[in-house]
Structure 1
Amino acid sequence: MARPELPIGTAGKIRTEKLGPGRFRARVRFRDYDGVTRDIEVTDTTGPAAVRALKVKIRDRSTPNDDEISRETRINALAELWIEEITAEERIAAQTIHRYQASLRTTILPALGNLRIREASVGRLDRLLREIAKDRPSAAKGVKVVLGQMFALAVRHGAIPSNPVRDTGRLRKPRRTVVVLSGEHLHAVRAAIRNWQQPVPGKPGPRHTGDLADIVDLMLATGARIGEILALRWEDLDLATARPTLTICGTLVYVKGQGIFRQPWTKSDAGYRILVLPRFAVGMLMARKVTAADNPHDAIFASRRGTWLSPNNVRRQWRQARADTDLDWVTPHSFRKTVATLIKEEADTKSAAAQLGHSSEEVTATYYIAKPVQAPDVSDVLERLAANPNRPHPPTLQNDAGR
């Protein structure tokens, strides 16, 4: 019966022979990745040394093809080809690609860029991810996503048989405590904004507008993201009905080279939503409409030049307003969490998720709702453990031996 053919990418039995004084040859039959079986040989000063060198040569053997990605391709070149591919596909948002590029530039390429694809072992990648996760667990998660997609491209091109990122360990998730604003906190927030907006005699520069206070009020009235609030146009409002509404149908994004612009779709399909406004928000918007200056974007919150108001500028203004307070922990996302928690308490998690534009109630419950776990009421059972012996007790507990 004919000898079975070697599986692709495997070698037969290594044979050694002495060629002369201090010269040995190790030889093996290897079935290449194109299906052709070839002889591979290495010479060295001793037989074991020749065998070791041959094993390294087999390990590093790449597919004999003309593909631009092989086992010998360096990771910085793989990264460049991957970015070119996802950009050409137009499947991923430009700001997401910008975030991927930042992860490559600041973390991945400094650590791995000069390595060849074959040198990116599971252990090496795992150590890198765990080192990042020590101080920056969220960054480590982003790095793992980027590496996973890069090496998936290498697998598709036949450079490696499997994706090493898939075999790295799970990254720890930091324990999250959702903190929301109480009524006292909200009063302090509004007071801080009012104080910040007061003109300071003798201070140069333009006077602060009332935008920050109105933006915070609208975030509290809707639970919307700051980018969604700043992307609102007057045409997105319907204030003439008995129950005035606001439609979230876009968000502001920043892309390097393009600046701030309005993306005419939300973060997810669930983000496209119509929200009924509370009375305090309706009053604020009607007052703004009376004094609003025209701008080319029809933006509710526009800069003095009529451009979109940058989310980073609003965050900076809030940091300035809270500078002399104990509100350092309050961010624009705190308002969103406060809205979610209040709706959950008064209605349910499903309503909170819909208000925030989440497709999953689990995300809302885990990351946006502050709620201690409610244990079942077993107080009557625990009453049997009372310490007062003169007090009448319910029937005593039975132990396992008495059953």
Structure 2
Amino acid sequence: MDTKVSVLVEQHLALLAEAGKSPATLTTYRSAVRKLAKFTNALRVGDATPGRLNAVVRSMRAAHGARMARHGRTLLRGALQIAVLNDVLGSNPVAQVSRIESVRKPKGAPALNADQLPEPLGRLRASLACEDIDLIDPITLLAATGLRRSELLALRWTDYDERTDTITVGGKVARMEGEGLKRLPSGKTDASDRVVPLPALALAMLAKRSQRAFWGQQAMIFPSSTGHIARPGQLQ
């Protein structure tokens, strides 16, 4: 009962790593652990009542937002489950902690159908600013496929099959603690990959891009200007 909650949080994180949680998830949780420590550093298992834990989660939300508070609640639940399984606690007090609800954000722009795409894509291609920072090609493929930004920036030329007019989506870009941006597999097996058929506008763009100096010579289809993995934030 005298064990600090923060100690159990670290144990829970180690168990998640042993269980094969993805590196991206572990990086997110480690960030949450550091933020959570400010509010739980002196809290001991015997004092971890639902009321105190609820205050911790609310404080974390006020300081770091709803998403990080949800991660904190998840970590606390896993940590104190260790105490339950070791017969230190009779039940997990986090079960009574209020869930974190996000404030509903205003809806974004409405989705465009195929007939509406030519006009904005035409304006995109005419933009010298977008051309200078290599936004035209990646946004064209985003519009053509609906991929996530992290998936788009993980695409390699070897994923593109000119014979079948398809591209294999099998990776994502994520920032790893102490390592920077890395390309990670989408899932644990090759079955997690998916093959996406490409429309004519995407095929035309890729054919032209593959012949361009520098861009067509890199391993990644959409690298940074230095040839490294590009940040998903660049496409916001």
CA deviation after TM superposition for structure 1 residue 176, in Å = 4.8
CA distance in 2, matches of 1:230, 1:272: 15
Deviations 1:57-90 (CA, angstroms, capped at 9, x unpaired): xxxxxxxxxxxxxx11012222222223323x15
CA distance in 1, matches of 2:121, 2:156: 29
CA distance in 2, matches of 1:173, 1:189: 37
Structure 2 residue identity aligned to 1:82:
H
Q: Secondary structure at the match of 1:260?
A: strand
- 2:208 corresponds in structure 1 to 287
- 2:159 corresponds in structure 1 to 236
Q: How does 1:1-400 map to 2 (within 5 A)?
A: 71-87=1-17, 89-106=18-35, 108-133=36-61, 136-181=65-110, 183=116, 187=120, 190-191=123-124, 194-197=127-130, 208-209=132-133, 211-241=134-164, 244-266=165-187, 272-291=193-212, 292-295=215-218, 298-312=219-233, 314-315=234-235, 331=236
Do 1:232 and 1:300's aligned partners in 2 also have CA atoms closer than 8 Å? yes
CA distance in 2, matches of 1:82, 1:290: 50
CA distance in 2, matches of 1:175, 1:109: 28
**Structure 1, unaligned stretches of length 5 or more?**
1-70, 199-207, 316-330, 332-403
TM-score, normalised with respect to structure 1: 0.51
TM-score, normalised with respect to structure 2: 0.83
Q: Secondary structure at the match of 1:148?
A: helix
Q: Aligned in 2, Cα 1:125/1:188: closer, same or farther, shift over 3 Å?
A: farther
CA deviation after TM superposition for structure 1 residue 124, in Å = 1.2
The alignment yields a C-alpha RMSD, in angstroms, of 3.0
**Structure 2, unaligned stretches of length 5 or more?**
none
Length, aligned pairs only: 229
CA distance in 1, matches of 2:149, 2:47: 43
CA deviation after TM superposition for structure 1 residue 226, in Å = 0.9
Where is the helix percentage greater, Structure 1 or Structure 2?
2
Q: Secondary structure at the match of 1:175?
A: coil
Q: Aligned in 2, Cα 1:173/1:306: closer, same or farther, shift over 3 Å?
A: closer
Q: Secondary structure at the match of 1:155?
A: helix
CA distance in 2, matches of 1:253, 1:180: 26
CA distance in 1, matches of 2:105, 2:188: 22
Q: Aligned in 2, Cα 1:74/1:120: closer, same or farther, shift over 3 Å?
A: same
- Percent of residue pairs identical: 28
Structure showing greater relative contact order (alpha-carbon pairs closer than 8 Å, 6 or more residues apart)? 2
Structure 1 residue identity aligned to 2:98:
G
CA distance in 2, matches of 1:150, 1:189: 53
Q: Secondary structure at the match of 1:102?
A: helix
Structure 1 residue identity aligned to 2:51:
G
